[in-house]
Amino acid sequence: MNDEELMAGARAAFDVLDPVPDGVLAAARSALAWRTPAAALAELRHDGAVRPAVGVRGGTGRSLTFGCAAEPAAGPAVEIEVTGEGRHREITGRLVPPASAEIVVRHRDLPAGRAAGRTGPTGMFCLPDVPEGLVSLLFRLPGGASVVTSWVRV
């Protein structure tokens, strides 16, 4: 018996004794559909609470900073603030260095690849109705380059 036959037998045994749930398979297929292999990955660098200044009205939020591991000092970064309660959040932020870009919010309850907004020439953006849950932002830059943030729960 060679290695391939041994692995095939092990797979068959697990398929009978402990099959992978359909929901897990569906989530795995969905995750692969979201892949953007050519995009630069901006990983989460900072996650902190934002509190308004004394005497300023407003609630609390979260401040998140994402940066590219390949070029931490010069690579693209994304700075966002997440506010809101209930089923939807507002995400405001900026792309650093500033650039005009199309933004796609990646979330299981939103259509894949649908643009949610654009950054202005200063890199600033506001996404007012983002569903709560796991979210990743994809920025399509001029010239075909892309930056994608790691997944984070909002």
pLDDT, tens digit, for every residue of 25-47? 777 766 665 567 678 889 999 99
- Provide the pairing of β-strand 124-131 with 134-140: unpaired
Residues in the chain: 154
- How much is the pTM? 0.71
Identify the helix (H) or strand (E) that includes residue 124.
strand 124-131
Q: What is residue 53's three-state secondary structure?
A: coil
pLDDT, tens digit, for every residue of 85-113? 889 999 999 999 999 999 999 988 777 76
pLDDT, tens digit, for every residue of 50-75? 665 555 555 568 999 999 865 555 56
Paired strand residues for 89? 130
Identify the helix (H) or strand (E) that includes residue 7.
helix 3-17
What HEC string does 69-115 produce? CCCCCCCCEEEEEEECCCCEEEEEEEEECCCCCEEEEECCCCCCCCE
- Do residues 74 and 96 make contact, with C-beta atoms less than 8 angstroms apart? no
